[in-house]
Chains A and B, each alone.
Chain A
């Protein structure tokens, strides 16, 4: 039997939402497109492709990263959490619940990235001040400007009092 001498395509091992996967794609493929096109997980969104809008935010070993700026070769071997798995994290679960309680989204497109940036914030700083919330969340654009509700939902998830005085 003839033997193929062509090498098998290189695969990269990742752990996505606690599930080990192997991805056969070029190492320079951004993690964003690996998630969306190879793994068919569309929750992580494409907004700018340049790390400027935060729509593609995921957690890599618990740290918020821009998946559009993270090549597959850099993500290999790491633990990735996407919006599809955010509820498995204690802070993520609280945020997902708070997001629904406040009904944060308008169009909803940026919200996955917002929730993951907020998850990283609360993991590092369980009781952030308003200024700390603004600082940690200013990398995420919401074109519909749901910002007041994002602040409220983060405070609700963190068990902090509402500083907007309940004002709409």
Chain B
């Protein structure tokens, strides 16, 4: 449907409130076929987060990408709270990607809450101030004599009241106040923040309405299937498209650049047809020749050999050096040594990578499921040689992110396909869609890593020396993307003699961030190894953590990164032990003599503190069942949406178990990833999910922070540490395997 013209209201540059007198009919995203129209928001989103209809419905722009983390509800909750409207008045509308207008729009790093907690509340509060100013002017009364509740302005002295809608047009003409100076509610005044709100799209999801990038369906749209060099980094030498061009429905075969090889070279081809299925069928008729000689030497087997050799050698770079580890180990009463490792991982979002683009009159319009669309705009502009301002990006709901869609290769490619289509058959929208094999083989992988740990205990069992030689991937003494380690990785700050060294192996693979990047691996190896240290000291891991964390304080950390606060860490450790009635890892055998046990893990990442306990049963010598998991978290003073917060933790814990349990890894041969589908890159299924997950949040006097990531890592060592108790075996490599 078309948006009715807006009333002629002067919108000041900083104004973000606009009036709509047309009522609920303006909401394009409420339509069943939202993607077949240009969203009506384009007409008003010049500077709008808030639109008030004549019916007093309040349309709130949700600016961030929704990947299932609930941000499409959470951010509007912040605005609605301070605007002082009731939640049932609110209509949520996804904004376009435009960081100049809306600020950051990234779904990554669990940053949405800490970055928006104040700014989004200030947007709502400033809009309320403007409505009050308009009401005061209209009624000829003092602004201070007015109050609001549930979207209605009240003047107690005269007994007058009127809905916000009565003042929306007037308010939209006012200059917005400085958001930093508007008064905000106290937590005691909250009526929306802290209340459980369901997913705004749930009714559409359960009835099959179009929501996702793959659902974009535009008049005259074409579809494209991908052919990409199997070996990462290889380029296209030549190709023969003649046979494919004769196939049913095919209209073009377009060489494209994925944005990760030098500009000017092609590393992929798009087969464009009237239907994706036709494009996909015609793919096999194209005969590409790749320049891949330089990539052939890279393989998983080669990495393992090189890592084993490097572990015994001197580290390439020293990241941490404090005290004298050598002397401390020589004088230690007891030493513990162990090697740990973990594999490359794909993301496996269930919605395969895709993007729709229309290239017309030199400008690009994009419909993208991207976690980082504004970066995608910059990359697409660069590769295509067009101006970023000539690219419009509509944000779709996203069928899983997990960090994969922080990268925008699909957008960079879809833009080029659309330009190729425009040149071949005239401007038409085209949807580029990976199949599952493309998706698994052309990911940005969680990099593998190997660690050689050594720890020394003094005669009182105190940890006096710690060393880690970390082998991962990089170049010129620097790690590649997502292969970093903190020089302050715990327990470094609490051990007098500590060293972390690293050695970087070459790889041709593109790497990237996987939910709780670096932490998902570091937590496993560090908390498992510390469990070994605790065992050597004759105590359990929660007790080792308490003793080493010590008095309440901030530990030294990386510059510009928040420090680990020991009181918050001990808080969640004590809480989870209380919740589970922790008395160590041993449990009585099950009714049929099955071995049962518990394990513990803790981690601090992405500003959040989590301690978790996994309870398991070995149903036979090599089979593990996770019965229940407890999680205690500290993410600050306020859980904004408690329902969604519990859901995030449930999902993160089961995903963490999946990384450990279902043989999840990707293998590379001759430069190319081998996994072709979910039988070769398994994901955890319902029969692997624990029967119960118990979650508690500690309320502490810190600003609210994010949740998507910090709850994931600890469950992995908690599981491995439980297996150690139940089976007697210490598993030091992911995925975990018992025999």
Contacts and interface: CB of A to CB of B under 8 A. Distances in A.
Contacts of A42: 208, 210, 212, 214-215, 217
Nearest to A165: B692
Contacts of B276: 33, 37
Interface range for A = 35 or more
The majority secondary structure among interface residues of chain B is loop
A13 interface: no
Contact of B68 (A52, A107, A112, A135): A107
A126 interface: no
A48 B651 contact: no
B206 A144 contact: no
B207 A43 contact: yes
Contacts of B212: 42, 45, 108-109
A133 B685 CA distance: 12
A125 interface: no
Nearest to B212: A109
Contacts of B658: 145
Interface in A132-147: 133-135, 137-147
A122 interface: no
Nearest to B35: A42
Contacts of A143: 348-350, 400, 402, 655, 683
B645 to A, nearest CB: 9
Contacts of A141: 350, 678, 683, 685
Given A40-B217, A99-B206, A103-B198, A148 B689 contact: yes
B514 interface: no
A80 interface: no
A145 B684 contact: yes
A162 to B, nearest CB: 10
B686 A150 contact: yes
Contacts of A149: 647, 650
B620 to A, nearest CB: 17
Interface in B679-696: 679, 683-687, 689-695
Interface in B186-209: 198-199, 201-203, 205-209
Contact of B650 (A52, A137, A145): A145
Contacts of B606: none
B692 A164 contact: yes
Contacts of B199: 103, 105, 108
A91 B215 CA distance: 26
A53 B678 contact: yes
Nearest to B696: A168
Contact of A167 (B202, B351, B433, B694): B694
B334 interface: no
Q: Which residue among A33, A48, A134, A165 has the maximum number of chain B CB atoms within 10 Å of its CB?
A: A48
A44 interface: yes
A103 B643 contact: yes
B208 A83 contact: yes
Interface string A33-51: 1000110111111111110
A106 interface: yes
A64 interface: no
A115 interface: yes
Contacts of A86: 207-208
A19 to B, nearest CB: 14
Contacts of B677: 48-50, 52
Contacts of A44: 208
Contacts of B435: 49
B397 interface: yes
B351 A109 contact: yes
Interface string B382-419: 00000000000000011111100000000000000000
Contacts of B198: 100, 103
Contact of A103 (B67, B202, B687): B202
Q: Which residue among B647, B648, B694, B695 has the maximum number of chain A CB atoms within 10 Å of its CB?
A: B647
B350 A87 contact: no
B651 A46 contact: no
B277 interface: yes
Contacts of B678: 48, 50, 52-53, 141
Q: Which residue among B208, B650, B678, B679 has the maximum number of chain A CB atoms within 10 Å of its CB?
A: B208
A144 B651 contact: yes
Contact of B350 (A29, A30, A33, A55): A55
Contacts of A33: 275-277
15 contacts: A42-B212, A42-B217, A48-B436, A50-B677, A52-B678, A84-B207, A106-B69, A109-B212, A133-B686, A138-B685, A141-B678, A143-B402, A145-B689, A150-B686, A168-B650
Given A26-B248, A49-B435, 6 more contacts: A37-B223, A45-B214, A86-B208, A106-B648, A115-B206, A148-B690
Interface of B: 66-70, 198-199, 201-203, 205-212, 214-215, 217, 223, 248, 275-277, 348-352, 397-402, 433, 435-436, 643, 646-655, 658, 677-679, 683-687, 689-695
The 6 residue pairs across chains A and B that have the minimum distance between CB atoms: A43-B208, A107-B68, A109-B399, A145-B654, A106-B68, A83-B208
